C-alpha cells in the first residue's frame, strides 16, 4: 500500500504543477489583454479627442448675393456620437487600469465584480462604436433620401482621424469581448 502511495505522488505533483502552470498562463494572458485594451482605448480617446480641422468654405448667406468664404471647423464634440465615443473609450481605459489592479489581487469576490464590469464595457464600447461608425459613414457617404450631404470631401483629415479612432476602439472592444469569452469558457471548463 505504502509503495503504491509513493508511486502515485510524483504523478499527482506533475498534474498539480500542470494545473498551476496553466492557471498562471491564463492569468498572464488576462493581464496582457487588459494592458492592450487600456492602450487601445486610451489611443482611441486621444486620437478622436484631439481631432480638429478648420477649412475656409464658400457659404451662401443670401441667394441673390455671391457666396462668402468663411472658416468652418470640425470638432469631435459637435456630434453627440463622437462625444459618446470619446467618453466610452475614456471610461473603458480607466476601468482597464483599475481592473489590472483588481485582477492582480485575484480575490474571488472581486473577480465577480470584474466579470460584470468587463461585460458592461463590451456593451458600452460596442454601442459607441456602432454610433460613431454610423455617423462617420454618413459623413463619408452622405444620404440623398434624408438630404444629408457628405462632409468628408471637405474635412478629409478629420474624417481620417475619426476612422483611426473607430478602428482602435473596435480593437479595444474586441479585447474586452475576448476577456469575457475566455473567462466564461475557462469557468465553464472548470465547472465540468
CB 135 within 8 A of CB 150: no
Size of the residue set binding its own copies (CB under 8 A): 49
Q: Is the dihedral of CA 118, 119, 120, 126 positive or negative?
A: positive
Alpha-carbon distance 84 to 177, whole Å?
19
Among 74, 92, 93, 166, binds its own copies (CB under 8 A): 74
Strands (E) across 5-143 are located at 52-59, 68-75
Piece of the chain touching its own copies by CB under 8 A; list 6-14, 35-43, 47-55, 172-180: 172-180
Among 41, 99, 129, 161, binds its own copies (CB under 8 A): 129
Determine the straight-line distance between the first and last CA of the chain, rounded to whole angstroms.
31
Alpha-carbon distance 143 to 158, whole Å?
19
Piece of the chain touching its own copies by CB under 8 A; list 11-19, 20-28, 37-45, 80-88: 80-88
- Closest contact distance (angstroms) between CB of 47 and its own copies is 19
Residues that bind its own copies (CB under 8 A): 63, 74, 78-81, 84, 108, 111-112, 115-116, 119, 122-124, 126-135, 137-139, 143, 145-149, 151, 173, 177, 180-181, 183-185, 187-192
Amino acid at each position: 500500500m505504502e509503495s503504491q502511495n509513493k508511486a502515485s505522488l510524483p504523478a499527482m505533483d506533475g498534474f498539480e504543477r500542470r494545473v498551476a502552470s496553466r492557471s498562471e498562463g491564463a492569468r498572464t494572458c488576462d493581464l496582457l489583454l487588459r494592458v492592450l485594451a487600456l492602450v487601445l482605448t486610451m489611443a482611441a480617446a486621444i486620437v478622436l479627442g484631439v481631432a480638429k480641422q478648420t477649412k475656409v468654405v464658400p457659404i451662401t448667406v443670401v441667394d441673390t448675393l455671391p457666396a462668402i468664404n468663411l472658416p468652418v471647423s470640425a470638432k469631435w464634440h459637435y456630434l453627440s456620437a463622437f462625444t459618446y465615443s470619446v467618453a466610452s473609450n475614456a471610461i473603458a481605459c480607466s476601468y482597464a487600469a483599475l481592473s489590472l489592479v483588481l485582477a492582480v489581487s485575484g480575490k474571488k469576490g472581486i473577480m465577480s465584480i470584474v466579470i460584470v464590469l468587463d461585460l458592461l464595457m463590451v456593451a458600452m464600447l460596442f454601442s459607441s462604436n456602432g454610433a460613431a461608425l454610423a455617423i462617420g459613414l454618413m459623413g463619408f457617404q452622405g444620404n440623398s433620401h434624408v438630404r444629408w450631404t457628405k462632409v468628408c470631401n471637405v474635412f478629409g483629415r478629420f474624417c481620417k482621424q475619426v476612422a483611426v479612432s473607430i478602428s482602435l476602439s473596435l480593437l479595444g472592444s474586441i479585447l474586452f469581448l475576448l476577456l469575457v469569452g475566455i473567462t466564461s469558457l475557462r469557468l465553464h471548463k472548470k465547472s465540468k
